[in-house]
Amino acid sequence: MTTQAQINIANDSKSAPTAANTLAGLKATPGCRALLDACTARKDYTIRLGSELHGVQLKNLNDQQLEDLARFVADRGVVFFRDQELTEQEHLAFGSRLGPLHVHPLNYGKKDTHPAVVPIVSNENSKNVAGEVWHSDVSSEPAPPAYSILYMEKVPPAGGDTCFASAYAAYEKLSDTMQNILEDKYAIHTNAVAHASIAKLSGANVQREFEYSRHPIVRTHAVSGLKALFVNQGFTTSIVGLHKEESTAILNHLFDVISKGADIQIRFKWEANSVAIWDNRAVQHQAVWDYYPHARKGRRVTVVGEKPIHDVNGLKQSEALGGLQPPPIWSRHLKL
């Protein structure tokens, strides 16, 4: 049985970056064959985004299969598993194998819950649910989370899906001119608004100061090498060096690319004992609260990532996929 002493948590509550050369996924086998050959079935949600794997238990993956999984999630953005047997301690131990575990800035007051576990609970008494705005988890931190691992224990009879959007594809939906404009730009991310609002409505305690971080708008994924659009409605507030009006106009456009881009989105229908593992460097997600007053219960463990970087030599996803046509440029949707 895994003990708490074996759980790898980032030093203190403010997560230090994971060294780039130690990131999970860098030692994956070609084509992630060690993982995929162990699965009985694979279902891709779209060509670009999301896969569902069957026939494996996450807690039983060997080290090479775990490396492959980290790379597979980096490439696909989010990967789903059904029928997982995963206690809280096993959940923590699994996440810890991918890197140091992140401790969330909000304390939800669950005394019997490990500090690296974020409870996901809603019922007839809930006033809101977290995550209804498109976001990448806690991007306000200097080294935002890499992987988020969500296990759902109880689901409503209908509804409660989670939506995901590809940040790789979102970048490619921009015109070449807009891509060039954003290539060397940085944006400010803060949790001052989002987490203050959640704390007020949920009664959670803010356990450290609000953070303000400066991240590249075009982020190059340190494992996949792909360029991604790294701004989100939940945490991004301004673009460095632009007037407020200019910044707001561009950010609203970029937020729309994510939120209105049905062609770069997928929707996951939860079942009890399902797990979703997503890469916050590659996707954004949104919780859908359409099941009130029914209950939903789960837990999330999150892995600390590296400091975001921009590399002009990063690839577009369509290039990495062997010349796949990029998604339609956003402006084409606006033509009448």
- Using pLDDT thresholds of 50, 70 and 90, give the confidence band for residue 253: very high
User: Residue 206: which pLDDT band, with cuts at 50, 70 and 90?
Assistant: low
Sequence ranges of the domains in the chain: 28-320
DSSP string computed for 192-259: TTHHHHHHHHH--EE-S---EEEEESEEEPTTT-BEEE---TTTEEEETTS-HHHHHHHHHHHHHHHH
How high is the mean pLDDT of the chain?
Answer: 89
pLDDT at 16: 66
- List 53's β-bridge partners, or say none: 42, 81
Of residues 48, 91, 102, 135, which has the active-site annotation? 135
Give buried/exposed letters for 271-284 (b at 16+ CB in 10 A, else e). eebbbbbbbbbbbb
Tell me what pLDDT residue 10 has. Answer: 62
Q: Is the pLDDT of residue 12 over 90?
A: no
Which range has the top average pLDDT, 118-132, 207-221, 287-301?
287-301
Cis peptide before 293 (omega within 30 of 0): yes
Q: Give residue-wise pLDDT tens across range 146-155.
A: 999 999 999 9
Half-sphere exposure of 26 (CA within 13 A, CB side): 10
Q: Strand 78-81 and strand 51-54: pairing?
A: parallel
**Nearest residue to 45 via CA among 269, 253, 210:** 269
Q: Which of 71, 91, 296, 300 is catalytic?
A: 300
Mean per-residue pLDDT for 111-123? 88
Q: Which of 118, 42, 61, 55 is nearest to 83 (CA)?
A: 55
pTM of the full structure: 0.90
Length of the chain: 336
279 is annotated as an active-site residue: no
The string of pLDDT tens digits covering residues 74-108 is 999 999 999 999 999 999 999 999 999 999 876 65
Distances (CA, A) of 28 to 57, 97, 142: 19, 14, 26
311-336 pLDDT per residue, tens: 999 999 999 998 777 777 655 444 43
Residue-wise pLDDT for 176-204, tens only, equals: 999 999 999 999 999 776 544 554 445 55
**Residue 135 a catalytic site member:** yes
Of 68, 137, 195, 296, which one is the catalytic site residue?
137
Q: Work out the number of other CB atoms within 10 angstroms of the CB of residue 97.
A: 17
Q: Is 215 a catalytic residue?
A: no
* 195, 219, 285, 310: the active-site residue: 285
pLDDT score, position 105: 78
Active site includes 294? Answer: no
The yes-or-no verdict on residue 220 having pLDDT over 60 is yes
pLDDT grade for 109, boundaries at 50, 70 and 90: low
The CATH number corresponding to 28-320 among 3.60.130.10, 3.40.1160.10, 3.40.50.1370, 3.20.20.70 equals: 3.60.130.10
pLDDT at 31 over 90: yes
The pLDDT of residue 14: 57
